Structures are given as C-alpha cells and as structure tokens.
C-alpha cells in the first residue's frame, strides 16, 4: 500500500496533462497530449484511457500499483457519480461519464472534481498552501475560480458551488456578469475584467497616459499590458490597477473574516503581475480584516503554475480515501 | 456505549444552563442557576462542578454513563487546551482552565468552544439546520456572532476566527467598529447597530415619523422599537430596516457565494423581528447570489431560541469524537 502511486490528470480545452506521483506528492513521470475536441469531444475519454494504458505499459507498471486516478475538468461535475456536463471548451454539452469509462478502461479507481477545486488542492498540498488545513485558493484567469480547503477538507457546499469566489458581489450596482447578476468580482478582477475597468476609466480620463492613447487608437489591450504600464508609472494604468486590487482586496478580506485560513493563495494568469498586484491587494485586505485575521491569515502568490492541476488532481485520490 | 448520555452547559453572564441529553440530541433533564461573577468569576467553575455532581447524584447517575460534557462560553477559547481568556461579562480577565478543573471535578471528558460556534452546532443539529452538512449560523444580538459548519465540521480557521460574520466589511468607509476597523456588519445590523443607523438617518430625515419624534424627544429606543414601528408603516423606521436588511442580505449573499450552505440560519435578539426582517433580507440576498446558490442556499430563522446553547454544547462531544 505505501508503495502505491497516483495518477493525476489535468483536462483542459487545449491539452491534457498527465503525471504519476508518489503518495507524498512527488512527480515521477509526466507527459501530455493535445485535447481532441472534435465530434462533440467524444475522443477525449478514449484518448485518456489509451494514453494511461500506453504509459503504464511503457513503464512496466500494473493497475494494482495505483491507489487511484484523480482528474480535474472544466464544466459542472457530479463527483459522486463521476459525470460532467456543460464543459463547453471540451465540446461536452451532454452528460459525459469519465468515472464509469475510465475505471472500465484502466481498472484503476477514478476520482474527479472541477479544475479550480483541483488547483486549490494542488497549491495546498505542494505549493503556497504549505499543506495547511485551512487554505483558500483564487485563480484570476479569463474568469475567476476558486477552491476552499477548510479543516483539512475541500468544501463543495450543498450543490457544488462552494469556492465560487468569482461571483462574490463587490458592488451590487456594478457590471452585469455572465451569471446574470451584477457586480461579481469576476467582472472587474479577471483578465477580461481588468480590461473592462480600463476602458471605462479611460472614458473619464482627461490626461495623456499611454494606456489612454492606446485605447483611443483602438489597440488591442490585455490585463498584462495594463499591469506592465502601471509598473512603468502610467497614470491611468495605475488608477486601474488600484481599483482592481481594491475590489480584490475587499473580496479576499471578507473571505478572511469568514474563514480565517492560514493562506489565501492567488493564482491564474493575472497573478503573473506578481508582488506588484499582491502588495496593492494586501493593503486593502489588511484594512478590511479584523485584528486576529490580519495577524494570522496571509495572502500569497501561487507557486506551482501549470503543475497545480496534475498535483491537485492526484491529491483527489487521497482526499477521497479519508473517510 | 449507545446508552451513554451527554451534558450540555451554556455559560452566560447572567445564568448557566445545563441539560442532560441522549446521543440523539433529546433533552432528558434541564436546570439552570445564576452566574456568580464576583471575585473575578472565580466561583463559576466550582459552581458548575458542584451543580453537575449534585444533579448526577439526584438522578442516581455515574460519570461512566456520560460520553462527555460540552460547554459554550463567551471569551477567547483555546479548545485544544480547554482554556478561556478575556470573557469580560464573566469577569474572566485572566486565563481560566475549565477543562482541567471540570474534568478533575466530575471525572467526565470535557469539550469547550465559544458560544456562537456552539449555538451554530445546536441549530444545525436540532434546529433550523435540519442536520445538514453545510449550515451557516449568524446571531444578531448586542453584537453579531456566527458559526460555520461545512462538510459536516465546525470550522475554526487557523487561529479560531472562522465564522466571525459580525466583522465582515459591508462598507470600507462605514462606522468604526470596536474591533478597530470600519464598516463591520456588526456596526449596522446588531441591536446597537440598528439604533445607530436609526439615529443617523433621523438626522437627515425631514418628515414627522414617530421614530423621528421619539429620537428628537430623547426617548430611549431599541432595535425592537425600530422594527415594531416599521411593521406599523412608520416611514423613517421602514427606511432604517430597509438599509439594515440590505447590508445583512449582501453580507449573507457573499457567504452564500463562498460556502453554498444548505441553510443560513439567523438567530439572536434582532431576529425576533421574524419574517418581516427575513423577507427583506432575502430580497437583497437573492439579488446578490449567483443562480446555483439562489436555488440551493436558503435563509431561515433559528428555531431553538435559548436551547440552542445547551444542545449545541452537548453536540461538541459528538463533534470531538469524530476523528
């Protein structure tokens, strides 16, 4: 039992990443392949099965040597039944049965959860979360996702929506979100949100900041450009980043006040802005948490990058063998 | 083992409530006594020991018949060491050792947590929480407390502050709170907060609402008076209640978006306003949660009243025998 290994699978719209890990979270083998989303994504699960079986043969390993396969996926996950629906970047519009099919195809127990929860487990286990019992993870990408580990357990809530930090309301009169309500954190602090804030603030801005000129010239801007300009001291870009980090700091402060985790870990593409974003966010965070939280709950940048997915997916196996 | 009983103790500044319960949460005996806070509260623990021993003798029961004693207390609790500090309404300014002393005095295992967490456990077990795995409890009293049960476990966070819902920031530029920061939910939605909002809104109010007249006449008002006047249609009181329930609804919405509990249970003195408060709060809540939470996370009024304390305290024994 203690020599058993785990397989982690990080399923995304572009690639599928695989890793074989020890029970202690050390990656021993890793590989990846492109995601074939043709034919309503019907090749994806057979491809995963074939890839796992092929690599086990290659490494001369048997299914009995594995405690399980864990997988992170986009879409709505029913983790008890091991099904997924509505993963649009995989072309999975209808119900798909990863657990049933992958267990049948590999003879290894299979566990599944959504990609943000899995990344949270990864950062908690081997990344910035220091394997603490209380870690909240927020990923600032095209959208905003999150995952909460509390008292050592990944939270799901009554209907699977625990950790949906992107939909925390930071301004009831704010922008309309894709979810149908107004003022979600995602509308202002995701990669697309940062650009939206920049466009809006540019309209009211009268100076000659480079960001203003770029927007007026109709140039394509990204959150990275906004942060880079702010780092150079661009006045408008600085105001945008200040506003974004204010919103983010307030949302994270209330997670701190509610959950008092050891760490709130910030990952995803926007977090590439690094300490520049972190320091500004921390300022608002600290102003809005009460003293015990200010002393004990810390903001950190994610450290695993792309590997959070496979590592966290693998840890699903441990998570599910707890009770 | 299955015939064992539990003792629940609800320690407050005015009275100490006791109950003997079955392992299923049914109260079989109950009694109470006044809290003697003289001499720096040094009589409290001896009184508890004597009262328990006296009643066990009265009912002809032995320590071995009990799985444990659970107690809820004000102040800062170190639940691992079973100590309390800073319970000012008990005159416990220095470190006190309830676990050490009560175990020595009764020969029954002892568990302790703070009163808001214990009330949360009680409402979850036998009250409005329907024994669900995910229940958040908020108590609107002189201050605002809270407790969170997630994935079946009471959350504490890294330094014991999980569930401090009273210090969620609802307005970074709001009133100064006793905790030192601004705009805590407690500053506007506790009993004292409601009165504060009423006084402030009265200053700007030009009409002749009864609440305005009372305040101008220097009459003592309470949150109950504000709610009662609002129910009668008083224009100023209605505006006050609308503002308070807006703040409360937004704070609870973000707990919903973060934790997706089955129920958010509202208790404490202010919740005596009942459905009048609940309906208004729900309106803001539903506007600020995303669809899956709107469908699956429900606001409810607490149902146990004063008994939440002893029942929840008793359930600490079960909670601590889980792992």
pLDDT tens digits, B218-256: 999 999 999 999 999 999 999 999 999 999 999 999 999
Q: Where are the domains of chain B?
A: 5-121, 131-303
Q: Is A156 an interface residue toward B (CB < 8 Å)? A: yes
Q: Place A251 in a pLDDT band, splitting at 50, 70 and 90.
A: very high
Could A288 and B155 be called an inter-chain contact, meaning their C-beta atoms sit closer than 8 Å? no
Average pLDDT for residues A249-270, to the nearest whole number?
97
Q: Is A78 an interface residue toward B (CB < 8 Å)? A: no
For B:241-280, CB contacts with A below 8 A are: 250-251, 253-255, 257-262
A142 exposed, middle or buried (CB, 10 Å; 0-12, 13-18, 19+)? middle
Measured between CA atoms, the residue of chain B closest to residue A136 is B258
- Residue among B132, B158, B284 minimizing CB distance to A158: B132
Which positions in chain B touch A255 (Cβ < 8 Å)? Answer: 258
Architecture per CATH, A131-302:
2-Layer Sandwich (3.30)
pLDDT in tens, B61-110: 999 999 999 999 998 899 999 999 988 889 998 899 999 999 999 999 99
Point out which residues pair with A33 in neighbouring strands: A16
The answer on pLDDT for B1 being more than 60 is no
- Residue among B169, B254, B296 minimizing CB distance to A288: B169
Which pLDDT does position B319 carry in this prediction? Answer: 87
DSSP conformational letter for B133: S
How many Å apart are CA B285 and CA A172, to the nearest integer? Answer: 11
Measured between CA atoms, the residue of chain B closest to residue A76 is B292
The tokens 């006050």 sit on which residue? B240
Which positions in chain A touch B289 (Cβ < 8 Å)? Answer: 167, 169, 181
Q: What is the mean pLDDT of chain A?
A: 95
Instruction: Give the helix/strand (H/E) hosting A117.
Output: helix A115-126
Q: Give the other-Cβ count within 10 Å of A140's Cβ.
A: 30
Which positions in chain B touch A154 (Cβ < 8 Å)? Answer: 151
Which pLDDT does position B180 carry in this prediction? Answer: 93
How many residues are listed for chain B in this entry?
A: 323
How many Å apart are CA B154 and CA A108, to the nearest integer? Answer: 34
The answer on pLDDT for A323 being more than 70 is no
Could A158 and B297 be called an inter-chain contact, meaning their C-beta atoms sit closer than 8 Å? yes
> Using alpha carbons only, how large is chain B's radius of gyration in Å?
21
Which pLDDT does position A244 carry in this prediction? Answer: 98
CATH 3.90.1170.40 fits B131-303, yes or no: no
Q: Place B2 in a pLDDT band, splitting at 50, 70 and 90.
A: low
- Choose the weakest-confidence range: A184-188, B10-14, B212-216, B317-321: B317-321
Task: Measure the CA dihedral B38/B41/B43/B49, to 10°.
Answer: 150
Could B165 and A255 be called an inter-chain contact, meaning their C-beta atoms sit closer than 8 Å? no
Average pLDDT for residues A168-191, to the nearest whole number?
96
Q: Place A158 in a pLDDT band, splitting at 50, 70 and 90.
A: very high
Q: Place B43 in a pLDDT band, splitting at 50, 70 and 90.
A: very high
In CATH terms, are B5-121 and B131-303 the same topology?
yes
Which pLDDT does position A236 carry in this prediction? Answer: 98
The tokens 């969620």 sit on which residue? B168
Q: Place A228 in a pLDDT band, splitting at 50, 70 and 90.
A: very high
At the top level of CATH, the class of B5-121 is alpha beta
Per-residue tokens: B89: 């309404």
CATH topology (fold) of A5-121+307-320: Nucleotidyltransferase; domain 5 (3.30.420)
Contacts for B228 with CB less than 8 Å, ≥ 6 apart: none
CA A165 to chain CA centroid, nearest Å: 11
**Integer CA distances (angstroms), A62 to A29, A54, A98, A105, in order:** 15, 11, 20, 13
The answer on pLDDT for A112 being more than 60 is yes
pLDDT in tens, B157-205: 999 999 999 999 999 999 999 999 999 999 999 999 999 999 999 999 9
Q: Place A2 in a pLDDT band, splitting at 50, 70 and 90.
A: low
């Amino acid at each position: 039992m203690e020599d058993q290994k785990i397989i982690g699978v990080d399923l995304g719209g572009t690639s599928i990443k695989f890793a074989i890990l020890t029970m202690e979270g050390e990656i021993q083998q890793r590989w990846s392949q492109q995601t074939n989303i043709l034919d309503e994504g019907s090749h994806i699960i057979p491809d995963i099965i074939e890839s796992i079986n092929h690599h086990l043969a290659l490494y001369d390993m048997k299914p009995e040597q594995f405690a399980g396969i864990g997988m992170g996926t986009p879409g709505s996950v029913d983790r008890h039944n091991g099904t997924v629906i509505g993963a649009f970047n995989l072309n999975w519009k209808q119900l798909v049965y990863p657990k049933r099919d992958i267990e049948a195809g590999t003879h290894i127990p299979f566990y599944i959860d959504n990609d943000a929860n899995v990344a949270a487990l990864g950062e908690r286990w081997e990344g910035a979360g220091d394997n603490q019992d209380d870690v909240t993870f927020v990923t600032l990408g095209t959208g905003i996702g999150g995952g909460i580990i509390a008292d050592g357990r990944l939270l799901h809530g009554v209907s699977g929506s625990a950790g949906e930090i992107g939909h925390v309301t930071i301004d009831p009169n704010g922008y309309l979100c894709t979810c149908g309500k107004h003022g979600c954190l995602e509308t202002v602090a995701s990669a697309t949100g940062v650009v939206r804030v920049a466009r809006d603030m540019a309209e009211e801005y009268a100076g000659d900041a480079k960001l203003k000129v770029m927007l007026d010239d109709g140039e394509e801007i990204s959150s990275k450009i906004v942060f880079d300009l702010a780092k150079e001291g661009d006045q408008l870009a600085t105001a945008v980043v200040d506003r974004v980090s204010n919103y983010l700091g307030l949302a994270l402060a209330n997670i701190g006040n509610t959950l008092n985790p050891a760490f709130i870990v910030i990952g995803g593409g926007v977090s590439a802005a690094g300490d520049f974003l972190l320091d500004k966010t921390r300022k608002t965070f600290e102003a809005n948490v009460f003293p015990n939280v200010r002393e004990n709950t810390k903001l950190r940048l994610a450290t695993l990058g792309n590997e959070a997915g496979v590592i966290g997916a693998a840890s699903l196996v441990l998570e599910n063998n707890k009770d």
